[in-house]
Structure 1
């Protein structure tokens, strides 16, 4: 068989596999917290132990996982599309995702390899990302919550238009944010305020809060401007009180005008969201309860593909991409030995 014939045969196999995966009765299955109870009973323990070990080495991974999860779920539902690499339409090459944390992305892929080694390819990268994010919140001191499972991995990235819907740190009108969140089923203003509380962990660079620093309209913004003048590449804590702990100090900082992003400060200045900020600042339990509810709602953002997809053998490429890559390398091997 010639090289061209071999490649055609593999590409035909790719098409057959894709059809089988898409037409599987399980492809559009309902989500449930015990979706993998029979197929991978050790799933949650594998994810939990992996996240605990990783965060003991680098606590910043918690913020990385949270941001990746939000950036994956908000555009078109939780489908691990943000993990896909390669090609001109990769979400990782789009503006809002250029600074996603590579080590957090790799952690989810490493956990996938462990899960598949133990259970076979039964759990999606989307489900592993959701569990890893929940466990990172818990390890950092935050609340636990039941994660709806059964998501399939997408067959393609989200469009630039959908990724462009991700809320930016420079947004100053809270109503715009409320409307944007409502378009994803997050219709309660408390969802916006609670999910913004993910900023209780994490750091950012000066470019992302340059608008706030340049205004210098309060003592804290003047300090931000001075620090960035000294070192434009410095990392700024988003929670200036307890930057590595998942707690309600982010809201306490907002009350004292110490929010880093313009979108953070907008929450304490708006008549709808300011009372919620004040409640969370004085009642950590109320924040934790709402954050858990809002994360579950985020996990259930409607999928534009109606949860039709696959279980990827690598989080960074679709299974058809992997087979084509294999076919190409196999053909090159035959050519080299000819």
Structure 2
């Protein structure tokens, strides 16, 4: 049976790890972080689930109550945020090219096939290679380090200069690099890969700029066999009422790439196999409120939920203080 791991911080600041199986959730004794637990599992040659079981069971926890109280942290973090890498791949889901292609066609006002559509179709053709073979390279982007990771319930904050703050409901893979450089997948999380779609629409070569934003992970790290089909809902709540809602699909049955292919094309770079580093890799989405004409506002709340995760991911939208046209200066030494 799959387990779900959560990170908890008590009012006095003490940290702990929670394991949930079905409706039962308990403290994992003697462990303060998922990072520490995974490091222990790698050193012992155990699976992550076996490392949890070896710790025994502690006190029971009411997950919904602890989440509502703001005691649940992101399910993964690093003591040094510079050693947590957030990156992702786009145009990976069946149907995911539609919104991007529409944006680019409107910008270019031409009928020829866009670069996004070409990349999507190449993924459909070669994104699911036979085992042991290398498949088509996907689109890839960098989001930031651990300082950009926002806990469940906390605000996703747009920079003062940004054009837009839009949700991207998806799955993210969580990885720890072992002592010999081997990437270990710890599990999957629900995620909001927050982006600036107005900036991207202006020119798709600004995609890199549009992705340098915060992101949030759902409360639970799912540890177990990877589900082939994940179906959930993404919504925006404004002033207590649902402004927009749409189902979203993920899992390999709904993707043009295998997870193994996406993982290969990320971890093939030696700089992403530095021992001790944590990687959060976003696998992409096909559902955006932006493509339905929604413009978000400060105070809107993003809500994402999907089985096999039992807790939703909610984040309000905020904007950083400061002048939108403020110039960042550099001093010469």
Q: Which has the higher strand share?
A: 2
TM-score by length of 2: 0.23
Greater relative contact order (Cα < 8 A, sep 6+): 1
TM-score by length of 1: 0.23
Q: Which has the higher helix share?
A: 1
